[in-house]
Amino acid sequence: MIDFVRTPDDRFDNLPDYPFAANYLEVDGLRMHYVDEGPRDASPVLLLHGEPSWSFLYRHMIPHLVEAGHRAIAIDLIGFGKSDKPTRQTDYSVARHVGWLQSLIDHLALEDITLFGQDWGSTLGLLLATTNEERFSRIVIANGLLHGKDGLETKRGLVHLWRAFTRWSPWIPVGQIVSRAAGRDLTEAERRAYDAPFPSREFLAGVRAFPQLIPMSNKDPATPANVAAWQVLARWSKPFLTVYSDGDPILGDLDALFQQRVPGAQGQPHARVEGGHFLQEVSGPELARRVHELIAAT
């Protein structure tokens, strides 16, 4: 039995540019929220966020994808957004998150999926795609990584600082964090939207847990799955596109790893766009256009 809290619905009233209907699936006794817009018979674009954001991050991409004829599905990871939030950090693991995502794509019977992953959304998405190869047709990674061959060895100091802050700080100002890392100053309403899922400290266990889940050694419990995923990617011949921003100091140079090691990345129109770590805030429409062009070309 997982103890959890549920963010009151009125915390999400009057969000800017977020008119999407709420959809829910119960997984392990927890309610997982997802946005599902566009024609149900269209091939889905699966939009996965990272930490500490939620599907609000994709509000500037979803309308453009739908207008282009695609089905846009943006999931709130358990612990984030409108999804339920386990209150113990020990209830969060990489394997559990992948399992919860698996439950949703099984429930929706998704096929011919185009993955768009950023931050932890890329790691979880790649673990999901490499264990469901037949269901994923294309992959787009934006400011993302797959731990194991991710180049974070040179940035251990920054990673340890982030882990220490999220573990010990009495409060984590999520809206301010996203604003500072977005590549532009968010409006007060936008910052409130990022704060909305977390009305008090007991809601923040997922935000605190994710940095501690970054595998920093071969002994980490998540490492074997990451190694297996890299083995699949080493022979992945389906289209694999990287679109990174020009202002991410942590992950901004890791696109080269995918371009060099994934066969499906050869000959793709890889790009750099404006923005910080949360590049969707600056270049959302352009990212949607590049996803559409990849689908149209393949």
As annotated, the active-site residues are 119, 248, 277
Residue 236 to residue 234: CA distance in whole angstroms: 6
* Nearest CA among 264, 238, 291, 246 for reference residue 117: 291
Handedness of CA 159, 147, 286, 40 (dihedral sign): negative
Residue 140 to residue 122: CA distance in whole angstroms: 9
Q: Hey, what are 288's tokens?
A: 């949607």
Residue 189 to residue 57: CA distance in whole angstroms: 13
| Bridge partners for 110 per DSSP | none
CA distances from 43 to 65, 72, 293 (A): 11, 9, 14
Residue 230 to residue 139: CA distance in whole angstroms: 14
Would you give the distance in Å from CA 162 to the centre of its chain? 18
DSSP characters over 16-53? TT--PPPEEEEETTEEEEEEEES-TTSPEEEEE--SS-
Residue 216 to residue 209: CA distance in whole angstroms: 14
